[in-house]
Structure 1
Amino acid sequence: MPSVKHAAPAPGAHSYILRAAPHPRRTLIVAIVAVVLLTLIGFLLRSHPVDLQLSQAFNAAHVGALGAFTSAVYVAIGPVPAIIGTAFVAVAIGFVGRNWRRAAAFAGVVGLTWVPSDLVKILVDRPRPDAQLLAHPYSPAQVDASYPSGHTVFIVALVIAALYLLVGTRWFRVGVVVGGVLVAVVVLSVVIDGLHYTSDALASVVWALAVAPAARLVWVDWILARFWPGRR
């Protein structure tokens, strides 16, 4: 019998970020429980800054080249640069991979993981570390709330979204290593700058790890699947 030739899948058709979640209910429950617990922890930390001394110790390292570097990191991934950078990466994914659903999925995972953390920040309203108690207070002073760290949530969400794209490729392990380094750099930067307590940064990492899968579920499996159907 003559062999049957199958059409090659579209670029990115089998990307992990576009696959339906195998356990959607579990994914949502984990995210909801994490958000509730982290919010309650935030209220407790607001009244009892148990990690003040640890945060002061990190801030003592904000000198010389290290201090200049950590301050530069904070500015480089501020809200406006973060939005522009995410949009730029998404456009690059669309052009290079010729799959705009995948590009939209990437941007949506980052946004839906990151933005809700600001709502918790407003709700908890934990003050930032007292500048008068720090050896090297950040200038200009940041007057918004401290918990969780938006910078940290953003970078972890960005790394997770990128790893969703790299699953199954030879670049996945490299992505894990590079992503881990980026997260560590941002966590240390916001604490060394004296802009966040260590608990702010650690809670932000947990937030992103728990919420990102749910963000992918809601954005890709529910919203994109309905309004922008395509091959998975």
Structure 2
Amino acid sequence: MSDAALRPHRRESDVNGILDPSRYPLASVTLAVAAVIVITVVGFMLGTVDLGLSKALNGLHTGALGALTTAVYHVISPGPAIGITVVVVGVIWWRARDLRPALVFGGTIAITWVPSAVVKEIVHRARPDVGVLPHPFAVQPDPGYPSGHTVYITAFVIALVWLLRDSRWHHLAVTLGVVAIVGVFFAVSIDAVHYPTDAAASILWSVAVAPGVRVVWVDWLMPRIPFLRPRVPGEAARVSR
């Protein structure tokens, strides 16, 4: 018997881990909805509870570190972030020769990220007062909770880790992803464009919301869209369960 016959059959979703159906779809969606409600409610209660910590972190905004944190803030501002995501979606489509993982990657990021801007307007938590900061950043016109930059980078990392789940790059993606999330957390906090609690809530937002978003994409919507339906026999049944 050949080695090929001895190897287990590879499902299509083994190649693109981001297409694997969720093991706990209802729990993931319920957690996402609950997280949005809880994080929104908590936002109304924070006030200036961590202004002292903001001032202390902003005191580090000098020299090379200050230049780095400012650069990070600008690189993943909404315009560049959208551009980065579009480019990565295009690369995924080209490499996989399949539109579905590219759409799930981009859609997971977008649908996790955009609603946070709505919550930001609802909560309307002011950013740290530039009048009391040692190294104030340019005044930002919109409220600060949650931090869109931090929601974006966390959702991006989560989607990338899912995409590479069954590849040799998975562990590297996890490691570098954690570094990126922590880096953005400190960048927006040291710049003091956000309170640390803005950034922390944003990480929790993406961690809780992104799995629910992926359930809606992969488990519920894709099997009902003709050109996005699963292509491996039996996979559709697993998705619809």
TM-score range, shorter chain: over 0.9
TM-aligned CA deviation for residue 23 of structure 1 = 1.4
Deviations 1:163-187 (A, max 9, x none): 0011122211111110011111111
- Report the aligned-residue RMSD: 2.1
Deviations 1:133-165 (A, max 9, x none): 1011112x1110100000000000000000001
Q: Which range is displaced more, 20-29 or 67-76?
A: 20-29
Pair 1:130-2:129 in alignment: yes
TM-aligned CA deviation for residue 22 of structure 1 = 1.7
CA distance in 2, matches of 1:65, 1:88: 29
The residue correspondences of 1:68-79 to structure 2 (distance < 5 A) are 68-79=67-78
The residue correspondences of 1:67-146 to structure 2 (distance < 5 A) are 67-139=66-138, 141-146=139-144
TM-aligned CA deviation for residue 58 of structure 1 = 0.4
Which residue in 1 is equivalent to 2:16?
15
Q: 1:210 aligns with which of 205, 208, 211?
A: 208
Q: Which range is displaced more, 112-121 or 15-24?
A: 15-24
The code of the aligned residue for 2:171 comes to R
Which residue in 1 is equivalent to 2:239?
none
Pair 1:201-2:199 in alignment: yes
Deviations 1:90-145 (A, max 9, x none): 10011112121111110011111111111110100001100001011112x11101
Label 1:180 to 1:81 Cα distance change in 2 as closer, same or farther (>3 A). Answer: same
Which residue in 2 is equivalent to 1:34?
35
TM-score, normalisation: structure 2: 0.89
TM-aligned CA deviation for residue 14 of structure 1 = 4.1
Contact (CA 8 Å) 1:11, 1:97: kept in 2 or not?
no
CA distance in 2, matches of 1:125, 1:77: 22
Q: 2:162 aligns with which of 155, 161, 164?
A: 164
TM-score, normalisation: structure 1: 0.92
Q: 1:191 aligns with which of 189, 205, 228?
A: 189
The code of the aligned residue for 2:29 comes to L
Q: Which range is displaced more, 194-203 or 217-226?
A: 217-226
Deviations 1:18-76 (A, max 9, x none): 1221211111111111111111110001xx31111011100000011111111111110
Consecutive unaligned residues in structure 1, runs of 5 or more:
none
CA distance in 1, matches of 2:101, 2:136: 41
The code of the aligned residue for 1:167 comes to R
CA distance in 1, matches of 2:11, 2:97: 9
Which residue in 2 is equivalent to 1:25?
26
CA distance in 1, matches of 2:99, 2:112: 20
The code of the aligned residue for 1:223 comes to L
Query: What is the percent sequence identity of the aligned residues?
Result: 44
Consecutive unaligned residues in structure 2, runs of 5 or more:
236-241
